């Protein structure tokens, strides 16, 4: 993956995450505020009802103003202006809180005018198993009232969290998602570093190969031109093998170097006006000696009316060599290959068809992948790195050509390249 692509993914992902976090945080705070306001309103209604019930029992009038004061977020005082019975107070508190679904623990206390202290307190909860160690705290006094009682909700925070359970779950899911995104970015960057190390190693290795390859080529040429070597058939044969294998090795190294350049976007396409038919005939002619060894044949059917294309000569020749070489290698015996060109929708179509072993359907979609090699079954003479078709696909993309493959196992394979006309 290219650096700019990774940077865009990270930047866009970070912006998206920041935006989602901001929106989620806003709604979480808003939800908390609304839940707190709802709690306050229901407590206010319940306490007003309790005060009204107590005033009826005491046959007294309630204050018209400052009936209920919210001293803190979870502590309220209620002005009664008459004496308060603790049993009546607890009964009405429990009754009103239950009716308004305020199912949370609370503690209350009554202000004593004699001692000027908060007395008769009790802790009321909805889970009896948790009340053993709960004792009523010393609720603070409120100096502005004389006859009043105070109610405190020590579990208010837990109560509000319970009401916001859905929002909290969604927030937790968001954090898990962010964690996996961060982990995925870490894995991508790690794989990219490994890929860069691998490519650097391959580049250095192949460049180091170039010097001994050139030396071997020079030495083999000297041997083949030597009169004594030419007279000795055995030595001449070995010298020829050395040269042929050295050329094969050089081609493989060049292919690796070209692919490395592609991945770094450092290779260039030098387009020129070429006669496709002439290129095909030259490549086919160069392969005739190898075909004769395996009793193979190549039939040429060139029907394109205008064979001239704009392409890079070096890379186009490599494409032709790769596809024809594959057609020969993947034939069981006596290769029979058909090379065609024809016109289609104002384009030139170039195709190579063989009668070889074919490619299974599950493998056909992978043949252009880097290092992928199709299982060859009983054919054991097929050698390579799985880079040929990967190289062909990338060169076609660079020229804006479309390449496709059609195959049926046991019957052969056809490669088709659609080239835009000039």
Residue 328 reports pLDDT greater than 80: yes
What's the confidence (pLDDT) of residue 380? 43
Residue 151 reports pLDDT greater than 90: yes
Same domain (yes/no): 228, 275: no
Backbone CA torsion sign across 387, 392, 396, 401: negative
Same domain (yes/no): 18, 156: yes
pLDDT digits (tens, 9 = 90+) for 165-221: 777 788 888 888 888 888 888 888 888 788 777 777 777 777 777 778 888 888 888
Same domain (yes/no): 247, 275: no
What's the confidence (pLDDT) of residue 370? 75
Q: Look at the chain and report how many structural domains it folds into.
A: 3
Same domain (yes/no): 83, 21: yes
Residue 373 reports pLDDT greater than 70: yes
Q: Are 195 and 217 in contact (CB under 8 A)?
A: no
Same domain (yes/no): 258, 300: no
Mean pLDDT of the chain: 83
- Choose the final residue of a domain: 263, 287, 308: 263
Q: Report which of 377, 369, 327, 384 is spatially closest to residue 352, judged by C-alpha positions.
A: 327
User: What mean pLDDT comes out for the span 389-395?
Assistant: 87
Overall pTM surpassing 0.75 (yes/no): no
Same domain (yes/no): 406, 335: yes
Most confident of 5-9, 207-211, 255-259, 336-340: 336-340
What's the confidence (pLDDT) of residue 1? 53
Pairing state of beta strands 402-408 and 308-312?
Answer: unpaired
What's the confidence (pLDDT) of residue 341? 93
Residue 44 reports pLDDT greater than 80: yes
- Choose the final residue of a domain: 136, 163, 190: 163
Residue 264 reports pLDDT greater than 90: no
Same domain (yes/no): 229, 309: no
Percent of the chain with pLDDT over 90: 19
What's the confidence (pLDDT) of residue 77? 93
Q: How confident is the model at residue 135 (pLDDT cuts 50, 70, 90)?
A: low
Same domain (yes/no): 129, 159: yes
3-state secondary structure of 347: strand
What's the confidence (pLDDT) of residue 170? 81
Would you say how long the chain is, in residues?
Answer: 422
Same domain (yes/no): 280, 240: no
User: What mean pLDDT comes out for the span 377-394?
Assistant: 68
- Choose the final residue of a domain: 196, 230, 263: 263
Same domain (yes/no): 8, 153: yes
User: What mean pLDDT comes out for the span 145-172?
Assistant: 85
- Interacting residues of 311 by C-beta distance below 8 A, sequence separation 6+: 269, 271, 272, 274, 399, 419
> In terms of C-beta density within 10 A (0-12 exposed, 13-18 middle, 19 or more buried), how is residue 371 classed?
exposed
pLDDT digits (tens, 9 = 90+) for 56-111: 888 888 887 889 999 988 999 999 878 888 889 899 999 999 999 888 889 999 98
User: What mean pLDDT comes out for the span 368-395?
Assistant: 70
End-to-end Cα separation, the chain, in angstroms: 33
Same domain (yes/no): 60, 178: no
Q: Please give the structure tokens belonging to residue 391.
A: 């190289």
What's the confidence (pLDDT) of residue 331? 80
CATH of the domain at 247: 1.10.287
- Interacting residues of 24 by C-beta distance below 8 A, sequence separation 6+: 170, 171, 174
Same domain (yes/no): 287, 235: no
Q: Are 255 and 388 in contact (CB under 8 A)?
A: yes
User: What mean pLDDT comes out for the span 17-42?
Assistant: 87
Residue 9's domain comprises: 3-163
CATH of the domain at 320: 3.30.565.10
């Amino acid at each position: 993956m290219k650096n700019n692509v990774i940077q865009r993914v990270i930047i866009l992902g970070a912006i998206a995450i920041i935006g989602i976090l901001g929106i989620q945080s806003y709604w979480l705070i808003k939800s908390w505020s609304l839940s707190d306001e709802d709690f306050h309103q229901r407590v206010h209604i319940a306490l007003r009802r309790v005060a009204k019930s107590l005033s009826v029992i005491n046959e007294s009038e309630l204050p018209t103003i400052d009936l209920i004061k919210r001293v803190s977020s979870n502590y309220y005082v209620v002005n009664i202006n008459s004496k308060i019975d603790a049993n009546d107070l607890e009964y009405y508190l429990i009754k009103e809180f239950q009716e308004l679904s305020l199912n949370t623990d609370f503690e209350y206390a009554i202000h004593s005018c004699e001692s000027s202290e908060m007395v008769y307190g009790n802790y009321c909860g909805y889970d009896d198993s948790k009340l053993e160690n709960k004792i009523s705290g010393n609720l603070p006094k409120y100096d502005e009232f004389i006859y009043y009682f105070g109610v405190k909700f020590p579990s208010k925070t837990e109560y509000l969290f319970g009401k916001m359970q859905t929002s909290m779950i969604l927030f937790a899911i968001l954090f898990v998602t962010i964690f996996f995104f961060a982990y995925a970015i870490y894995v991508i960057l790690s794989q990219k570093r490994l890929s860069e190390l691998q490519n650097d190693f391959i580049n250095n290795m192949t460049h180091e190969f170039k010097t001994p390859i050139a030396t071997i080529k020079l030495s083999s040429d000297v041997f083949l031109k030597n009169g004594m070597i030419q007279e000795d058939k055995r030595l001449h044969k070995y010298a020829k093998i050395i040269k042929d294998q050295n050329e094969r090795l050089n081609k493989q190294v060049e292919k690796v170097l070209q692919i490395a350049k592609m991945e770094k976007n450092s290779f260039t396409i030098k387009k020129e006006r070429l006669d496709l038919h002439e290129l095909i005939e030259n490549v086919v002619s160069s392969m005739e000696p190898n075909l004769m060894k395996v009793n193979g044949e190549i039939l040429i059917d060139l029907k394109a009316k205008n064979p001239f294309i704009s392409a890079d000569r070096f890379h186009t020749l490599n494409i032709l060599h790769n596809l024809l070489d594959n057609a020969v290698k993947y034939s069981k015996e006596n290769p029979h290959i058909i090379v065609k060109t024809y016109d289609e929708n104002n384009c030139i179509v170039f195709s190579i068809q063989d009668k070889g072993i074919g490619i299974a359907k599950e493998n056909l979609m992978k043949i252009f992948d880097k290092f992928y090699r199709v299982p060859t079954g009983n054919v054991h003479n097929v050698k390579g790195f799985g880079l040929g078709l990967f190289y062909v696909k990338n060169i076609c993309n660079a020229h804006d050509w479309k390449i496709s493959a059609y195959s049926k196992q046991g019957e052969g394979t056809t490669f088709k390249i659609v080239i835009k006309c000039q």
